[in-house]
Structure 1
Amino acid sequence: MELLLKESAKIIKKSNYTIAFTGAGISVESGIPPFRGEYGLWNKYRPQVLDLSYFLNYPGNCWGYIREIFYDFFADAKPNDAHRVLANMERNKLLNAIVTQNIDNLHYDAGNNTVHEFHGNSKKLICLKCGQVYDVNDIDFENIPPKCVNDNEILKPNFIFFGEGIPQEAYSNSFAAAQKAEVCIIVGSTGEVTPASYVPRTAKQAGATIIEINPEETVFTSVITDIHLKGKAAEILNQLGKLLF
């Protein structure tokens, strides 16, 4: 592992454009469970509550679950060392952009500035009628479903529901970054969710070196990964950070 870490640090230092591609695994250590897997949210909740058509038909029912999952249970989640190392990499000009599947805002909270949120952000709500965006801190969750002050329409969390497309700006920026990347660091993503998983694949096709940080092998490992740093995100990134800074 020590040799792989040193090799990874050397590659990153030489790179002119490095991106990180992050998934649920990086936020698990902040207390946010993934949606899928043995301890995933879909073992406790029905995915239907985040289906757009179901939400439009039964917003009150959906909002009860949405508040519990995203605004009661996860409200106090903080960035962990993995997030902080990536933020430090950006400050030290060793990381140019993050493409994240996560909706928890923790990369911004840690101090990153260039973050392409492929699936949106739970810290914002949007009115589907007029497009007004609200900060979650301005919402009274004692009264649900929350409504827009302009037209009294029910607000929706500004992240992707089943049945919705990827936001065009996030999609374009993510793949543009992938095409420029000389190094792509995968952190905590299994590669099972599309089209997000095409981002590191695009980087690989463009000639990038793929460094994967995951505790186990994933869909990426045998297909595009050049270096697999096997372990938890915070532990591996802390070790890598000591070699980079």
Structure 2
Amino acid sequence: MRSRPTLEWAPGPEVLALEPGATDVRPVADVVRGGRVVVLSGAGISTESGIPDYRGETGSLRTHTPMTYGDFVGSEAARQRYWARSHLGWRTIARAAPNDGHRAVAALQACGYLSGVITQNVDGLHQAAGARDVIELHGNLDRVICLDCGTTSAREVLDQRLRDANREFTAEATRINPDGDVELPEEVVRTFTVVPCTVCGGTVKPDVVFFGENVPKARVERCYRMIDDANAVLVLGSSLTVMSGFRFVRHAAKAGTPVLIINQGLTRGDPYATYRVNLPLGRALTELAHQVTAGEETGGPSHA
């Protein structure tokens, strides 16, 4: 039987005594140094790249209602509204660059300390920073899929088709949301032309999981297998409000696997956390990577 890190899991109300969270990452580094750590990241890790989160102090859910799956498939007007706004917002996300937090995760993985990275983000910034084999729980805005024939294609191709079909569309993006959506007046939305699938003429949707849509079962099961094989789970920049990510924290804690959380603000997973840090992600993860690798004689994790 594989050994686990020495920090004990002790869920319950007493964990909330950590509020508003510690600022010392050394206890997290002690666990990560043992290797086989799975990262579960959320929108908070991308805020320093200029992409806002949903639920932070300035989270977009305070002023923005994301498109739901039911609305998208059930209404031509809703699809027009989504694509008009996303057409502008995607360009901003496509230009976003990885930040120190993404780079620290990639470095820890390259050094062998991480056994997997699961992200709830759809921006592709973990991969852009060099992370490998990232499980994109909610998909990626870089791809689109036809709901009728299942054909997938690159978002860049669709973007050019939308540009060609909307040469007189001159709206500009203002506030960008984590799902690539922006705010546009309804009279501007009504001037936008949506293009169909080039294969069957069907409805094209971004290859992401909308609110109200289920994560594919095979993807969920792959995440569970990764969590089951982990020595610890490290949550980065997620409030864990939605079940799609929270279930993995609850599953790990039930199995006695330490759960470590680095996030600005409280999270739904705090009662399950072994240790929680309340710091900006770029700063915290840069320090964490330094702490993990400092003084390592072998240059890699120990697997007891």
Shared fold per TM-score greater than 0.5:
yes
* Identical positions, percent: 28
**Structure with more contact order per residue of length (Cα contacts < 8 Å, sep ≥ 6):** 2
For 2:65 and 2:88, the matched residues in 1 are separated by 13
CA pair 41-216 structure 1, distance change in 2 beyond 3 A: closer
> 2:266 is matched by which residue type in structure 1?
E
For 1:12 and 1:39, the matched residues in 2 are separated by 30
Query: Deviation at 1:92?
Result: 0.8
- SS state at 2:253 partner: helix
Matches within 5 A, 1:39-188: 39-47=58-66, 50-56=67-73, 57-58=75-76, 59-69=79-89, 71-139=90-158, 140=160, 141-142=162-163, 143=165, 144-188=193-237
Query: Which structure has the bigger radius of gyration?
Result: 2
User: Quick check: 1:180–1:203 contact (8 Å CA) kept in 2?
Assistant: no
Query: Deviation at 1:37?
Result: 4.5
For 2:229 and 2:102, the matched residues in 1 are separated by 22
More strand by share: 1
> 1:110 is matched by which residue type in structure 2?
A
Unaligned runs of 5+ in 2: 1-21, 166-192, 294-304
TM-score, normalization: structure 2? 0.73
Structure 1 window deviating more from structure 2 (173-182 vs 51-60): it is 51-60
For 1:178 and 1:146, the matched residues in 2 are separated by 40
Query: Deviation at 1:40?
Result: 2.8
User: Quick check: 1:120–1:159 contact (8 Å CA) kept in 2?
Assistant: yes
Query: Deviation at 1:125?
Result: 0.3
- Write the deviation string for residues 146-167 of structure 1: whole angstroms up to 9, x where unpaired: 4322112231000011332111
For 1:158 and 1:131, the matched residues in 2 are separated by 10
Q: How many matched pairs?
A: 239
TM-score, normalization: structure 1? 0.90
Identify the residue that residue 277 of structure 2 maps to in structure 1.
229
For 1:197 and 1:146, the matched residues in 2 are separated by 36
For 2:255 and 2:98, the matched residues in 1 are separated by 31
For 1:92 and 1:24, the matched residues in 2 are separated by 24
Q: Which runs of 4+ in 1 moved over 4 A?
A: none
- SS state at 1:195 partner: helix
RMSD after superposition: 1.8
Query: Deviation at 1:199?
Result: 0.9
Identify the residue that residue 220 of structure 1 maps to in structure 2.
269
For 2:281 and 2:200, the matched residues in 1 are separated by 44
For 1:38 and 1:7, the matched residues in 2 are separated by 26
